[in-house]
């Protein structure tokens, strides 16, 4: 069957940035699984996969604007180390749900429209640089891969708006 809305799609792919560096490699034995037509993946990638079928290969180049958007330096904010639990080990690249007590930080990060997730960019002595840009913001992306399986979604999957099963949501 061809990929269309209400299909669950299994992919393997290699994700590279604009310089060709590999950012992510998803292999056949642990495929990426998603429900097609629900914007669970980047919309322009979803569009490119539309109507493909099992065995088809794809090579999709996305400019940053079509992927995770331009990088916006304003979405960075320095916050006190005290905002985080003492026993939490903070590392660059960690993602957090935003629970700001600082109203300015909340307002600034809210503008990013990135939902309520931010990333630790840099950990200093007393403060932490946080960033509401998606880690892939500002990067051109190239997804190269293959369609491994396409199946109709169950009614539960359609109701929930995501795929179920190993490698997807389990509940």
Of 109-117, 130-138, 143-151, 161-169, the window that binds Zn ion (rule: CB under 5 A) is: 161-169
- Contact present, 100 and 106 (Cβ < 8 Å): yes
Q: Does 160 bind Zn ion (CB under 5 A)?
A: yes
Taking the complex as a whole, the smallest distance from the CB of residue 40 to Zn ion amounts, in Å, to 11
Q: Does 61 bind Zn ion (CB under 5 A)?
A: no
Q: Does 127 bind Zn ion (CB under 5 A)?
A: no
DSSP bridge partners of 57: 146
Instruction: Pull the structure tokens for residue 162.
Output: 């995501």
Contacts of 145 (CB under 8 A, 6+ apart): 11, 12, 13, 14, 26, 57, 58
Instruction: Pull the structure tokens for residue 16.
Output: 């590279």
Q: Does 158 bind Zn ion (CB under 5 A)?
A: no
Q: Which of residues 106-125 bind Zn ion (CB under 5 A)?
A: none
Q: Does 6 bind Zn ion (CB under 5 A)?
A: no
Query: Could you list the residues that contact Zn ion (CB under 5 A)?
Result: 160, 169
């Amino acid at each position: 069957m061809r990929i269309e809305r209400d299909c669950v799609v299994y992919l393997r792919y290699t994700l590279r940035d604009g310089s060709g560096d590999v950012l992510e490699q998803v292999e056949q034995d642990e495929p990426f699984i998603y429900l097609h037509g629900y914007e669970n993946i980047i919309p322009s990638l979803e569009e490119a996969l539309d109507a493909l079928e099992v065995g088809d290969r794809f090579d999709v180049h996305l400019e940053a604007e079509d992927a995770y958007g331009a990088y916006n330096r304003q979405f960075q904010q320095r916050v006190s180390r005290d905002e985080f639990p003492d026993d939490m080990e903070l590392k660059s690249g960690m993602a957090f749900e935003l629970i700001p007590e600082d109203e300015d930080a909340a307002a600034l990060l809210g503008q990013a429209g990135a939902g309520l997730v931010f990333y630790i960019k840099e950990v200093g002595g007393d403060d932490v640089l946080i960033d509401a840009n998606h880690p892939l913001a500002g990067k051109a992306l190239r997804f190269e891969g293959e369609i491994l399986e396409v199946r109709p979604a169950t009614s539960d999957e359609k109701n929930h708006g995501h795929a179920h099963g190993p490698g997807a949501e389990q509940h």
